[in-house]
């Protein structure tokens, strides 16, 4: 079968489409014919070998890709999905050794969720990593109705979903982003847009003089370190970056690492189907054979949405 294969940790230039052996489903696994798979920043990191120090596979060749959606075509009798069921999920490729940018994939049944009939598979493929990360950030922060929350990077793929989920929970949402994205932030449930090019903590404290209850960091670096000043004493700081800034003023820091979770993914894709959750827009579509073009678009930067590979 055809797949997007990495032959060295040389970045996007080291990926290509080649023939690999078809996967075989093990116990508790299902086979999925992939219809669409979405790229994310993690795919660029994987192609550069960024996950090897954290236990990612150093072996070549390796099939790439995390997010996918497709149709069940077989697998273990213990799997809950019948043949022909549309499903979505993700595979943490550097650690699982299984990539989603392929014509077929074998994954544990519990990592999958059924795609509602009103959601097309290309859209479904954009959901798993971003939505599960957003949910995990809020759960880790113990976010509850009435809390104030500042999202650093609110206009990004994860940030936009975090803002929506936070608003649905009844939180008071602030979001930092480029001023050009202020209108979009309001559509995502952000009550207080914050200009990321200015003094973010000062702007946040205009709205909440005592500081916000929660800071969610999706950027890292100096922006994250500065954002600590926006949090109240004894507040919470949760980051998707592996090393959050050190704690101060009894602020509780934490970082999250997303994992496949079909039970959590199911309700999230149902929210997409009911239009309670607006998915990340698709800004590029490429056939599997043109995967290098998809990687090039992502690597060029400035992508405000998801790039999708389609599989005939």
Place of tokens 């500065």: 226
For 48-106, the DSSP string reads TTTTGGGT----SSEE---EEEEEEEEE-TT-S--TT-EEEEE--HHHH---SSBSEEE
Band the pLDDT of 79: cuts 50, 70, 90. confident
Domain ranges of the chain: 2-126+280-310, 130-255
Query: Rounded to whole angstroms, how far apart are CA atoms 139 and 233?
Result: 20
β-bridge partners, 105: 32
Say what the pLDDT of residue 2 is. Answer: 98
Place of tokens 């579509």: 285
| pLDDT tens for each residue of 15-74 | 999 999 999 999 999 999 999 999 999 999 999 999 999 999 999 999 999 999 999 999
The arrangement of secondary structure in 2-126+280-310, i.e. its CATH architecture, is Alpha-Beta Complex (3.90)
Across the chain, mean pLDDT equals: 95
Query: Rounded to whole angstroms, how far apart are CA atoms 243 and 220?
Result: 8
Share of the chain above pLDDT 70, in %: 98
Say what the pLDDT of residue 167 is. Answer: 97
Say what the pLDDT of residue 248 is. Answer: 81
Peptide bond into 210 cis (omega under 30): no
**269-261-299-20 Cα dihedral, nearest 10 degrees:** -110
Say what the pLDDT of residue 278 is. Answer: 95
Q: Would the pLDDT of 78 be above 80?
A: no
Say what the pLDDT of residue 52 is. Answer: 97
Say what the pLDDT of residue 93 is. Answer: 98
Query: What b-and-e string marks burial along 252-283, b requiring 16 or more CB atoms within 10 Å of the CB?
Result: ebebbebebbbebbeebbbbbbeeebebbebe
Q: Would the pLDDT of 268 be above 80?
A: yes
Please say whether the beta carbons of 222 and 204 come within 8 A: no
Q: Would the pLDDT of 218 be above 70?
A: yes
Q: Would the pLDDT of 77 be above 80?
A: no
Query: Rounded to whole angstroms, how far apart are CA atoms 78 and 74?
Result: 11
Share of the chain above pLDDT 90, in %: 88
Q: Would the pLDDT of 244 be above 70?
A: no
| pLDDT tens for each residue of 124-168 | 999 999 999 999 999 999 999 999 999 999 999 999 999 999 999
Tokens standing for 299? Answer: 């690597």
Query: Rounded to whole angstroms, how far apart are CA atoms 217 and 140?
Result: 13
Say what the pLDDT of residue 224 is. Answer: 85
Mean pLDDT over 265-280 rounds to 97
Cα–Cα distance list, 46 to 94, 250, 297 (Å): 7, 35, 16
Query: Rounded to whole angstroms, how far apart are CA atoms 92 and 197?
Result: 33
| pLDDT tens for each residue of 84-117 | 999 999 999 999 999 999 999 999 999 999 999 9
Q: Which residue in 211, 273, 269 sits closest to 236, CA to CA?
A: 211
Please tell me the pTM assigned to this model: 0.96
Say what the pLDDT of residue 134 is. Answer: 98
Q: Would the pLDDT of 245 be above 80?
A: no
Say what the pLDDT of residue 183 is. Answer: 85
Q: For 130-255, CATH number? A: 3.40.50.720
Element spanning 3, H or E: strand 2-6
């Amino acid at each position: 079968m055809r797949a997007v294969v990495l032959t060295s940790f040389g970045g996007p230039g080291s990926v290509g489409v080649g023939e690999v052996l078809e996967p075989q489903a093990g116990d508790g696994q299902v086979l999925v014919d992939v219809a669409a798979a979405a790229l994310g920043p993690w795919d660029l990191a994987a192609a550069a070998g960024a996950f090897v120090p954290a236990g990612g596979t150093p072996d070549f060749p390796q099939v790439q890709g995390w997010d996918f959606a497709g149709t069940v075509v077989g697998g273990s009798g213990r799997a809950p999905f019948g043949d022909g069921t549309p499903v979505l999920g993700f595979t943490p490729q550097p650690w699982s050794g299984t990539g989603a940018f392929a014509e077929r994939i074998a994954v544990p049944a519990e990592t999958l969720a059924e795609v509602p009939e009103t959601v097309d598979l290309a859209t479904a493929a954009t959901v798993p990593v971003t939505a599960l990360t957003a949910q995990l950030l809020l759960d880790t922060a113990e976010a509850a109705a009435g809390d104030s929350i500042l999202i650093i990077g609110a206009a990004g793929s994860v940030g936009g979903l975090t803002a929506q989920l936070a608003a649905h929970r009844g939180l008071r949402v602030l979001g930092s982003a480029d001023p050009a994205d202020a209108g979009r932030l309001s559509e995502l449930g952000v009550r207080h847009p914050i200009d990321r090019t200015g003094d973010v903590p000062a702007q946040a404290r205009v709205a909440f003089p005592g500081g916000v209850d929660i800071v969610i960091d999706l950027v890292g670096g100096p922006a994250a370190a500065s954002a600590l000043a926006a949090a109240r004493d004894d507040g919470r700081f949760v980051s998707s970056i592996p090393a959050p800034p050190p704690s101060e003023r009894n602020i509780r820091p934490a970082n999250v690492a997303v994992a496949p979770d079909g039970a959590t993914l199911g309700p999230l894709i149902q929210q997409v189907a009911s239009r309670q959750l607006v998915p990340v827009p698709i800004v590029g579509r490429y056939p599997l054979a043109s995967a290098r073009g998809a990687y090039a678009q992502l690597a060029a930067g400035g992508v405000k949405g998801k790039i999708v590979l389609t599989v005939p």
